Amino acid sequence: MAAERPEFIVPDFLDGTTPENIQERMMNELPADIDDMPGGFPYDMTMPTALVASELVNFHLVRALMIAFPQYAWGEWLDKHGENIHVYRHGATYASGKVKITGLQGTEIPAGRVFSTVATSETAAVEFKTVETARIGEEGYVMIPVRAVLQGAGSNVVADTVILQNKPLDGVTAVTNPDPITGGTEVENDESFYARIQLENESESFSYIGNDNDYKRWALSVDGVGDCIVMQAWDGPGTVKLVLVDSNGDPASEELTRAVYNHIVSPSNRSNRLLPTGTAKLTVAAATTVEISYQCTGLDYDSSVTNLEQIKQDFKKAVDSVYERAKKKGKFVYHQAESLITDLPGVNNYVAFKVNGTETDILLSEEEYPKTRGLDFS
């Protein structure tokens, strides 16, 4: 989830504040009988002051104006705008999943046992800890929940890569992860955080009646949630279903969907419950992602302004707006994505543009979420 932020326009009252403008006004204030020509003592001595004054206005004062408004603020200053309305930046989260431990029946696998991927010359091993104690059953294996040792997206791994024991354990002959381990996300970026601040501001006041914005706001307040699709009355009157992706745009993990459910329903403490009384049932599920690849050939661009890698980054960011419309309309529109190309900085034209190898729209069901898979630009 991201919101486009407007470009900051320097106010008119800061016009005429270049070093030359400031020095000219200083020289105009000199008595008429004082030499004000370039190279003279007054002229040379006032320029350093003019330089400092111009920097104070055009850099420091402009930055002070920008951080006063959430649409222009960044970092810790944007955090303060969020704190004012009780919206807080998401922290990084841990990847989680399950590993399959094979070995002798009855072998105990204690909580906190570390398993990892294989380190390479380019990447360090990714480590995971078991979160509970378990024993290998008569089938000769046991599935154990694990959690990454470190937070962040770097701890997400594909299936069958967690194959090493940190320390050998008697009775264990093999370890693997049959399914990907997911859910690790980075600290929320400014664009996503601002979008949630904007969502809260647009709601005008706190609402607990259970409209779509309420459910979306509640879900997005949980660390690791990237976006939420709200489906009212999906299984009859009084039922609500929330479909989630994480901050990486991937289907939400079981741990994340459970965290959102607990945050809204608060089964252990009804005084913290957000779920409206009239709602009979809340279901929280992971979205199904529809991967979309883009091919663009014959790109004509100004190399003094941009390059292929920057064009890819700019497009990947811009196409999020098309995804937002696609979720609402149930259709990814080819021409909306195509029109983004020549709007990118430095891009003049292109020869061909395709989406998943075609020039057609893509239909999406209510629980499907588009995600960029690859960019082949040349």
Question: What are the pLDDT digits (tens) for 3-46?
Answer: 678 888 889 888 888 998 988 888 888 887 787 777 777 778 88
Torsion of CA 106, 107, 111, 116, to 10 degrees: -140
Residue 208 in this model has a pLDDT that exceeds 70: no
Q: Residue 9 corresponds to which amino acid?
A: I
Instruction: Please give the Cα distance from 330 to 332 (Å, whole number).
Output: 7
Range name among 129-133, 213-217, 273-277 with the lowest pLDDT average: 273-277
Q: Which residues, 6+ apart, have CB-to-CB distance to 197 below 8 Å?
A: 70, 78, 81, 82, 85, 87
pTM here? 0.68
CB 125 within 8 A of CB 117: yes
User: In the chain, what percentage of residues exceed pLDDT 90?
Assistant: 57
Q: Residue 206's pLDDT is what?
A: 55
